[in-house]
Amino acid sequence: MIDFTPQAYEALCNALISCNIKFELRHDVDQRPDRAIRIAHIEHQKGLKATYYFRRNDIYHSEPAIQQIAQLGHDIGYHYETLAECNGDLSAAYNLFCRDLDFLRRIAPVEKMCAHGSPRSKYDNQKLWRRYNYHTLGITHDSMIDTDFSKTLYLTDTGRCWNGWRYSIRDKVNNMQIIWEDEGLIFHTTENIIQALNTLQHSIHNHSLLINTHPQRWMPVGAGWLAELVLQNIKNQVKRALICIKY
């Protein structure tokens, strides 16, 4: 099976449906909302519901895509990065967050959020909530802050693989990654995850799952698929260098 294609994602959905595991599907729409629509259709056809988190650029320029995904029955969330955008100014970041959230809610109901990693910034967007309370804004759930990772395994395709947390500056759960690795819960390909789901004795069955994908990576094989592969490999090396500099 060729990975990071619609067919591979559909196979993953089939495996999740077939096994008795509690799971949550999350999508960070960092780019290309059109590819998110394709993934949303696959899930809709299988009776699955996911949450699609949109960055501010798409909030203001991709309203039809957001509406279409919402009409398929999926939740819409805000993929915020305002602290990085405001260079650490908490007050400005909060005001920008509120404006963006208000605009997004004119397109679809929004009760969920999660931070964009903003790897080129020194500011961690989640630190905005050390001063402010997002629950007062009608946000009921932050995908990372409000998830109990002692019970939930976080699988993300950051780095265009499923074990790319070493390439990631923020899209990981620092205090759990080594524990999960010791349990054998490290997967490189989508097929590795599917095989684990299909094996009842595998330790993956001891956890709930939070599965995060970036839909721009999932497309039919062709020039775009190859370009994404090459570009992501370059990004991984840059991120690794940034991590070495930081730590």
Q: What is the CATH number of the domain that holds 238?
A: 3.20.20
pLDDT band at 239 (very low <50, low <70, confident <90, very high): low
Assess if residue 176 is contained within a domain: yes
Closest CA to 36 of 26, 46, 45, 23: 26
Assess if residue 1 is contained within a domain: no
Q: pLDDT above 70 covers what percent of the chain?
A: 96
More confident residue, 33 or 243: 33
The structure tokens listed for 93 are 């970041």
- What was the pLDDT predicted at 170? 85
Contact 18, 41 (CB under 8 A): no
- What was the pLDDT predicted at 238? 74
- What was the pLDDT predicted at 120? 81
The domain containing residue 19 runs over which residues?
Answer: 6-246
CA separation, residue 198 to residues 21, 144, 201 (Å): 11, 27, 9
Instruction: Kindly report the average pLDDT of the chain as a whole number.
Output: 93
Assess if residue 224 is contained within a domain: yes
- Segment 101-108 shows an average pLDDT of 98
- Segment 187-191 shows an average pLDDT of 97
pLDDT digits (tens, 9 = 90+) for 125-176: 999 999 999 999 999 999 999 999 999 999 999 889 999 887 777 889 988 9
List the alpha helices (DSSP H) in the chain.
6-18, 33-45, 56-61, 63-71, 82-85, 90-105, 177-182, 190-197, 223-246
- What was the pLDDT predicted at 237? 72
* Number of domains comprising the chain: 1
Closest CA to 81 of 20, 125, 45: 125
- What was the pLDDT predicted at 235? 80
| Global confidence as pTM | 0.93
pLDDT band at 41 (very low <50, low <70, confident <90, very high): very high
